[in-house]
């Protein structure tokens, strides 16, 4: 049995989610509608959300490495 398996699963899941959010932000930025200020703000929100999720995953992985 894996000891302290939840941090590993959490950091992996948040990393995967961050990559998905990054891809969504990339595709949104390539759309012609992104030239509109409102759409641009939504794209920036997607990007910021992906960065926050990535940092959460990083800190969970950091805590996990400290537990071993």
SS3 32: helix
pLDDT of residue 1: 37
pLDDT at 65 over 90: no
pLDDT bucket at 68, cuts 50 / 70 / 90 = low
For 13-39, the pLDDT digits (tens) are 888 999 999 999 999 889 888 788 888
Decide: 14 and 57 in contact? Cβ < 8 Å. Answer: yes
Distance CA 59, CA 65 (A): 10
């Amino acid at each position: 049995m894996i000891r302290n398996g939840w941090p590993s699963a959490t950091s992996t899941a948040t990393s995967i989610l961050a990559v998905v959010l990054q891809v969504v932000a990339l595709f949104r930025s390539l759309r012609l509608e992104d030239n509109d200020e409102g759409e641009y703000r939504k794209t920036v929100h997607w990007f910021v959300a992906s960065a926050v999720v990535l940092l959460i995953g990083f800190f969970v992985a950091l805590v996990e490495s400290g537990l071993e």
